[in-house]
């Protein structure tokens, strides 16, 4: 018996989590590019 709030399927959460991870990676690369002198 489990207590608390649980999703019936992990796949439902996979898309928003993947999008958030991609946004963080792209923002990180943009900041690194600008830090080394790239013009954006």
- Structural domain harbouring 16: 11-35
**Residue 31 falls inside a structural domain:** yes
**Residue 18 falls inside a structural domain:** yes
Residue 40's pLDDT is 61
Decide if 40 contacts 30 (C-beta within 8 A). Answer: yes
**Residue 22 falls inside a structural domain:** yes
**Residue 23 falls inside a structural domain:** yes
**Residue 40 falls inside a structural domain:** no
**Residue 5 falls inside a structural domain:** no
Task: Encode the chain (40 residues) as per-residue pLDDT tens digits.
Answer: 667 777 777 777 888 999 999 999 999 999 999 999 876 6
**Residue 6 falls inside a structural domain:** no
**Count of structural domains, the chain:** 1
**Residue 19 falls inside a structural domain:** yes
Residue 18's pLDDT is 94
């Amino acid at each position: 018996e489990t207590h608390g709030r649980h999703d019936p399927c992990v796949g439902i959460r996979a898309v928003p989590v993947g999008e958030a991870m991609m946004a963080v990676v792209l923002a990180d690369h943009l900041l690194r590019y600008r830090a080394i002198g790239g013009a954006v």
